[in-house]
Structure 1
């Protein structure tokens, strides 16, 4: 800076713009590459699903890095927007007066609501592609600037989650303890029809009760009335609405249970409903076996978690499912006479597991089933149900106050895991029992399990010991003289007195409590339904394969020669997870965050091509708001801004077009304001356009 003879400060003349490659590349590298490089590196971490365990200091450093990343994005957006404003000032179209200082207000949320922005956006004169494009660019850059801070913060901070323990093979856990089970065809993993073919031959009634081969029978643990399998039965009348039932025989097992017939909770307000669910015994057995090896893991990987997983024949993750049994009952009196149809029983099902509907059935259908004098029995009622209602099976209860209970058994998607570091290593799952009720019959995505009457008959096994081996009679019925499992279950809910005159609530309680007992028993039995599998054991140092067959089965020999994908199969195995910090996609919030960050990357790419198309056009002029003010103060006064000293209220003023023009031969440039309500006025803009790489004052 120099001082002339009159004492006036003199600035050196400068270039307004350049069309040389070097300035364009330097400006792009300074403003665009840092933010893009940070975003690309961050995206790479997400793509690799990078995991680590940062300290508190490192997490604080990431917060600082997020703020730096936000600032880099704001600088990038400023450079892009200011680039187009400067080009517009030097072009034949000019820039709307309201947009002149917009790039300096990127962090102002009020600018998008101001008249200086809205006036030229809503109605620009004359309408042109350049003014429309600049308006769109303003909206995009301001939206990205507003979201940059939140997006950077969410993306840079890793989330605490459960991730596969990739180093499991180096911890001594691959010493033959890994197993996978191959089920072929894959549909056998979740059979939709359960009959005697799913029960080992040794479970048939003709074999001796003490036959050791009965260990695989679904009723084996329920034949002894004093078995721990019945630990839940004595409390089922007073259980909370939802609870987990711990069952031991011999392994510890948990069954999620819901019942709505506890008088303390729902006194006559809710239809008798019971729901129970638990994972497959084969799945929980795999988890328990692997959990026994957890002591070999270093303490630094606690807490750890083992997940059961299912893969299809192509190696893609397939859903893991478990049985869920929901039972809903409806009750009428035995002497009910329908005036129009006296030979029918009609039951009204309130919203519960099912939507509200009425089931009508000939009395003879129930009366014939009850002819033996038993208190309840299973029947197939699918043909009697409305077309929209499906049931696995049903059972009737008490011929004096006839009730009908529909059983809805389904395979429901679940996540099943075990926390081996906990004292009670009980497998856990994610299937809620509450979702089965509420009047929303939305089970189309869950596969219904049809329960054959022959399979249900097998479950009614003889008790191994009883206080009274003789037959019971109907009016003197309790658990102590029961001879079969179902009789033993029903006997726990007997109420003294004349059964024919029992109150409606007492009968509802009986139905609901019996439904609860059967829901637990049927769920337990379905969890024991074996699937036909072939075991694979670990062959290499990787904990999740490749695998080799442990048995010589010619049908599956192709798997050992890497041709296993030719066969329809599902592979069930255990994956080791640990609680760690990870960069992973998946959450809805993260998807939105990456839409913002990648939109910025796309905008930068478009900006790069714009520079190339415009012959490496670049400008360093008016990079500060003060420089723009100096330009305006050094320009000739205009008559178009009268009465604006105290503010601008007219939207028409903001629609005026601004140009930068060379107005003197000695190289001076000025702001020129033009009223463009008449498009011909543009032709009268005084001065020449500044020239590339020439210096101006």
Structure 2
């Protein structure tokens, strides 16, 4: 397309004395062909609107006298001539200090706070201080917007004053930074952005600059608040700030994850059953466990449920070390607990710290070999138990016993079959004895004969009966499968909140069942040997035979009598608790006091129980955050734009910085001061065509010390062999000169 031809417009010129009194003479001006604007009318460009004067002779004489004496319209004498641009480097430096340095200084101060990870005192910031920080964040946002506006204004003014000009659509871009969405998605921006001016590089720079600065302005508010307000987190306390004894706690170098030793880690009954009945002492804690689990067992949940219980099979019950029980359905349960030696050390530290320090403190434990510098998380046992019944076994007709385990994570149930002449030979032999009744002991089966990796398989015969005068005998049998693994976990205690040691597995609780079924292997599964299963308890002067451990019979009998209707839930829950306690006590704590040389010092292969102390306080740190790095990316991008802008204004020989037309009002005033260009047709009622925003706008010296807005046609829109007949050429306008004053 080509621009319309521009002819010089008939106006009242700047040197015409009648122009200065046009406002006073307005009541006497009669314009032909003009009417009042009516609703729903289409506004365009009025043609042949020639002003005629109808002035009484007496008034005309008064006006001429006022003009001659110079006393008319004295209010306009306050508007002095002004310099609209300058090349002074000192002036550019002062503009940088005034418009950009405050926002940059605040951002750099925040960077220093985060680099130093500056912390507030434990009791601060208060609510009032947090409110003040929110206000400071809003002020920081305002400073950034001021800086961004100055950068865009410089680009717009520079384009207006140079030979390139600026597309009309970019003229008001600086006024949209606080809320740029509507502008960015308008034809005002894209109509100008998609049509480069004479210099394509300069145009692309302007478009990218406006777009990037608009995004910075959009994110300045939220990201400034994110980085300005500190976060409440646990921050590590240096060891030298924690008064503590010189004891070193450790366990011997035997790896409890690889092999569990039946002869170590458990108290013999004679060590804690002094002067008491053996049965009363041996099962006191177990009976208390049944009382604690009563509410859960009497109301079997239809959905997964979790409960913490305190239990220890041997000796005093450590209330600070909970066993977490969970149920998934009526026949399935799992339990976990931190290692007993770790919980004991954390409890001692918690008792000491709680009496020495104010504020919320957390103590966390990790393990480290003395020969290594790296620390790692502790592992703890996760025990899952599920049980299934078989149909009534009748001898001598029955030769096989089958058990079906429903698996919520598998499509098909797990079927386990035993031959009475093989795996269940013990039961068959007892049945063949000429006895009317017999109390069966639990039987530990060969776990390798189960088609899936497990830790142990325990058979519980439920009852026994004689049929047909000793010709046939029958029994009901229940099989429980035990699967246990070592899982890494976080272990900590917060003395001011609770003295109970807390633990969190690396696997979410709702995915534990799936993990156990998808990941069991012979390497990851704990192997519970028959010697260990029977050696986890003892009787006075008893030998470790197959049936020497009385806990299994006691557990089965209590579930059958106390919770007969919930036996299917009771047995897996109690067995999971029992095995979890056994595994967590598999190693004994060792202590060495460096001051008194009490105890045996740890060896190079021993495992040290490391403790780390944390305090809950507000601080500046990007740890475990994605929003803070994003916020600093936006804020530092603003600083980068400021640096580029400052380098251009200071180092460029023709930087031409300006302070003119800094508001929409000044731009409107400049437009009113200028002649109406013929290139803008039919815009009196608004702009609806993107073509209008392509028109190039410039500020030029028109006449003696007079500045006006003029338009020109973009070079790419001119047809071949067509000369530029823009308003700039028609009026003979000249480019604005630095440091010159204009009216």
Alignment check: 8 A CA contact 1:392 1:407 kept: yes
| Correspondence 1:86-125 to 2 at 5 A | 86-108=157-179, 109-121=181-193
| Correspondence 1:636-651 to 2 at 5 A | 636-651=675-690
Deviation (angstroms), 1:169: 4.5
* TM-score normalised by structure 1 residue count: 0.75
Q: Which secondary structure state, in structure 2, belongs to the residue aligned with residue 322 of structure 1?
A: strand
Aligned to 2:306: 242
Q: Which secondary structure state, in structure 1, belongs to the residue aligned with residue 380 of structure 2?
A: strand
Aligned to 1:142: 214
Change (3 A) 1:643 1:411: same
| Correspondence 1:70-469 to 2 at 5 A | 70-108=141-179, 109-121=181-193, 128-166=200-238, 169=240, 173-174=243-244, 177-181=245-249, 191-196=256-261, 201=264, 210=270, 224-228=281-285, 230-236=287-293, 238-239=295-296, 241-247=305-311, 249-260=316-327, 270=329, 272-294=331-353, 296-298=355-357, 301-310=358-367, 318-329=376-387, 333=391, 345=402, 347=404, 349-351=406-408, 354-364=409-419, 368-369=423-424, 371-372=426-427, 374-377=441-444, 379-381=446-448, 384-385=451-452, 391-396=454-459, 398=461, 400-401=476-477, 403=479, 405-419=481-495, 421=496, 425-431=499-505, 434-437=509-512, 439=514, 448-454=524-530, 456-463=532-539
Alignment check: 8 A CA contact 1:178 1:537 kept: yes
Aligned to 2:700: 661
Distance in 2 separating the partners of 1:538 and 1:140: 64
Q: Which secondary structure state, in structure 1, belongs to the residue aligned with residue 178 of structure 2?
A: coil
Distance in 1 separating the partners of 2:639 and 2:420: 71
Structure index of larger Rg: 2
Residue correspondences, number? 613
Q: Which secondary structure state, in structure 1, belongs to the residue aligned with residue 616 of structure 2?
A: strand
Q: Which structure 1 segments of 5+ residues have no match?
A: 216-220, 262-269, 337-341, 473-481, 540-547, 557-567
Deviation (angstroms), 1:255: 2.6
Aligned to 1:267: none
Distance in 1 separating the partners of 2:109 and 2:711: 45
Deviation (angstroms), 1:237: 5.2
Q: Which secondary structure state, in structure 2, belongs to the residue aligned with residue 247 of structure 1?
A: coil
Deviation (angstroms), 1:574: 2.4
| Correspondence 1:497-508 to 2 at 5 A | none
> 1:43-97 deviations in whole A, cap 9, x for unaligned?
2222222222223332222222122111111112212222222223334443222
Distance in 1 separating the partners of 2:650 and 2:251: 59
Distance in 2 separating the partners of 1:165 and 1:81: 47
Change (3 A) 1:452 1:403: closer
| Correspondence 1:470-549 to 2 at 5 A | 484-494=550-560, 509-530=566-587
Change (3 A) 1:380 1:122: farther
Alignment check: 8 A CA contact 1:377 1:397 kept: no
> 1:77-134 deviations in whole A, cap 9, x for unaligned?
2122222222233344432222211111211243233331243345656793333332
Alignment check: 8 A CA contact 2:389 2:403 kept: no
Deviation (angstroms), 1:676: 5.5
Distance in 2 separating the partners of 1:639 and 1:365: 108
Q: Which secondary structure state, in structure 1, belongs to the residue aligned with residue 346 of structure 2?
A: helix
Change (3 A) 1:132 1:315: farther
Aligned to 1:57: 128
Distance in 1 separating the partners of 2:554 and 2:587: 26
Distance in 2 separating the partners of 1:158 and 1:445: 44
Deviation (angstroms), 1:593: 2.9
Deviation (angstroms), 1:600: 2.6
Deviation (angstroms), 1:376: 4.8
Alignment check: 8 A CA contact 1:411 1:449 kept: no
Alignment check: 8 A CA contact 2:233 2:619 kept: yes
Aligned to 2:137: 66
Alignment check: 8 A CA contact 1:69 1:152 kept: yes
Distance in 1 separating the partners of 2:172 and 2:478: 82
Q: Which structure 2 segments of 5+ residues have no match?
A: 1-19, 21-66, 428-439, 462-474
Q: Which secondary structure state, in structure 2, belongs to the residue aligned with residue 253 of structure 1?
A: coil
Distance in 1 separating the partners of 2:512 and 2:576: 14
Change (3 A) 1:552 1:133: same
Change (3 A) 1:203 1:279: closer
Q: Which secondary structure state, in structure 2, belongs to the residue aligned with residue 621 of structure 1?
A: coil
Deviation (angstroms), 1:245: 0.6
Alignment check: 8 A CA contact 1:493 1:510 kept: yes
Change (3 A) 1:430 1:443: farther
> 1:505-556 deviations in whole A, cap 9, x for unaligned?
x6xx5344222112112222222232897858599xxxxxxxx998556x64
Cα root mean square deviation, aligned: 4.4
Deviation (angstroms), 1:310: 4.7
Aligned to 2:57: none
Aligned to 1:544: none
Alignment check: 8 A CA contact 1:19 1:692 kept: yes
Deviation (angstroms), 1:575: 2.8
Q: Which secondary structure state, in structure 1, belongs to the residue aligned with residue 341 of structure 2?
A: helix
Distance in 2 separating the partners of 1:616 and 1:330: 89
> 1:340-375 deviations in whole A, cap 9, x for unaligned?
xx9795745422xx4444445553399515635544
Distance in 2 separating the partners of 1:99 and 1:232: 77
Alignment check: 8 A CA contact 2:323 2:336 kept: yes
Alignment equivalent of 2:610, drawn from 573, 577, 596 = 573
Alignment check: 8 A CA contact 1:327 1:515 kept: yes
Change (3 A) 1:456 1:73: farther
Deviation (angstroms), 1:26: 1.6
Moved more, 577-586 or 399-408: 399-408
Change (3 A) 1:201 1:612: same
Change (3 A) 1:518 1:10: same
Distance in 1 separating the partners of 2:724 and 2:590: 85
> 1:648-674 deviations in whole A, cap 9, x for unaligned?
111221232223334446463534353
